[in-house]
Amino acid sequence: MKSVVIIGGGVAGIETASALSDFGHNVVLVEKTDSIGGKVLKWDHLFPDLKSASELENYLDIKCREGNFAIQKNTTIAQASQSNGKWMLRTDNNRVIETDAIVVATGYEVFDASRKEEYGYNIYDNVITSVDLEERLKSGKTITTRAGYLPEKIGIIHCVGSRDEKSGNHYCSKVCCITGVKQSIELHKLLPEAEIYCFYMDLRMYGQYYEELYREAQEMHKIQFIRGRLSEVSENIDKRLLIKAEDTLSGRPLKMSVDLLVLLVGMEPGKGTKSMAGICGLETGKDGFLKTSDMHFGNNKTGKKGIFLAGSCIGPMSINDTISNARSAALEVHNYLQTK
């Protein structure tokens, strides 16, 4: 029986662990926190079908309960070394795990919106991120301004921390556009009187049913889409937020005040991802995510023999892409172990 250690207990890690244990391998899943599931636990509904995130939680929960793999929580990897075709991983609590293969599934981190100072996050009361909104939606509480009023005008800002040299991130985080569309629909359902405006550069509705959801947002929910990137936010004396962009299709500057502003924050390589790159000597791409050996036909392999990648440690990914990617990682690892 061959052994595999999977690092990271989010969607990618669990799916890979489950698939590899189904193949009959001896799998250990290592997670740094005390809970399994990763960031998905914070989400309320998933795009594009607005499925409740709890369904995904259940799915992952069943995999963990019924899967034939061990889970080690509160554990991080401190060191890795290779000898005789095996990898030795030393954990922060000084345990050593010997394994035939490693799958890095350390995922992403949400862009820290306070780095875009001009957007006023953590400065102004009514600027929140898409992650904050998701948590508020999940809590079931009424969406209000900090002072407790129902927002009448809401702005949703695309590309926060993505496609932005100033944030150091040139890449597109892929999921924010559709997240914005999804959240604007949810806000409209909760606050039917509110006017909702999305400020975008391109609407990258790349996935199945994304474009349809965008159309639904326009047709059924009266969401206004304005083509122009947010330049700055400031607070009026009444705590409403003055936002400025160019209405690029009109070729004129545009301003408006909103009661609530939602920043669609992008994805950055997670701390765990960066740390694994250092520990295992993995190559990172220009975007800081882990580099696969080939974008087309080696997209779970690395330059290191026996180390594989799964999920958004490779780059920004939606949940369904992550699940597919994790399965393909499992197959890749399985094939490798067969030849060993």
Under the rule (CB under 8 A), what is the footprint of another protein?
114, 117-118, 122-125, 153, 159, 163-166, 195, 197, 201, 215, 218-219, 222, 224, 226-232, 234-237, 242, 244-257
Shortest distance, CB of residue 125 to another protein, whole angstroms?
7
Shortest distance, CB of residue 201 to another protein, whole angstroms?
5
End-to-end CA distance of the chain: 11
Maximum alpha-carbon separation in the chain = 68
Instruction: Round to whole Å and give the CA distance between 117 and 248.
Output: 23
φ and ψ at 197, to 5 degrees? Answer: -120, 130
Residue placing its CB nearer to another protein in the complex, 55 or 125: 125
Shortest distance, CB of residue 70 to another protein, whole angstroms?
42
Residue placing its CB nearer to another protein in the complex, 88 or 201: 201
Q: Which two tokens stand for residue 223?
A: 């969401």
φ and ψ at 304, to 5 degrees? Answer: -100, 130
Instruction: Report CA Rg, the chain.
Output: 21
Shortest distance, CB of residue 156 to another protein, whole angstroms?
14
Nearest CA among 84, 112, 81, 109 for reference residue 97: 81
Residue placing its CB nearer to another protein in the complex, 25 or 158: 158
Q: Which two tokens stand for residue 39?
A: 């960031």
Residue placing its CB nearer to another protein in the complex, 248 or 335: 248
Residue placing its CB nearer to another protein in the complex, 132 or 246: 246
Shortest distance, CB of residue 122 to another protein, whole angstroms?
6
Spell 141-154 as b/e; 16+ CB within 10 A means b.
Answer: eebebeeeeebebb
Instruction: Round to whole Å and give the CA distance between 252 and 165.
Output: 24
Instruction: Round to whole Å and give the CA distance between 108 and 28.
Output: 21
Nearest CA among 280, 320, 313, 286 for reference residue 101: 280
Nearest CA among 262, 260, 67 for reference residue 160: 262
Residue placing its CB nearer to another protein in the complex, 101 or 185: 185
φ and ψ at 173, to 5 degrees? Answer: -85, 0
Nearest CA among 102, 152, 100, 144 for reference residue 126: 144
Shortest distance, CB of residue 247 to another protein, whole angstroms?
6
Residue placing its CB nearer to another protein in the complex, 40 or 233: 233
Cα angle 125-130-141, degrees, rounded to a multiple of 5? 70
Residue placing its CB nearer to another protein in the complex, 176 or 333: 176
Residue placing its CB nearer to another protein in the complex, 170 or 340: 170
Shortest distance, CB of residue 313 to another protein, whole angstroms?
25
Spatial strand order in the sheet of 77-83: 77-83, 86-91, 96-99
Nearest CA among 159, 126, 129 for reference residue 231: 159
Shortest distance, CB of residue 238 to another protein, whole angstroms?
9
- Kindly report whether the peptide bond that precedes residue 269 is cis, defined as omega within 30 degrees of 0: no
Shortest distance, CB of residue 138 to another protein, whole angstroms?
24
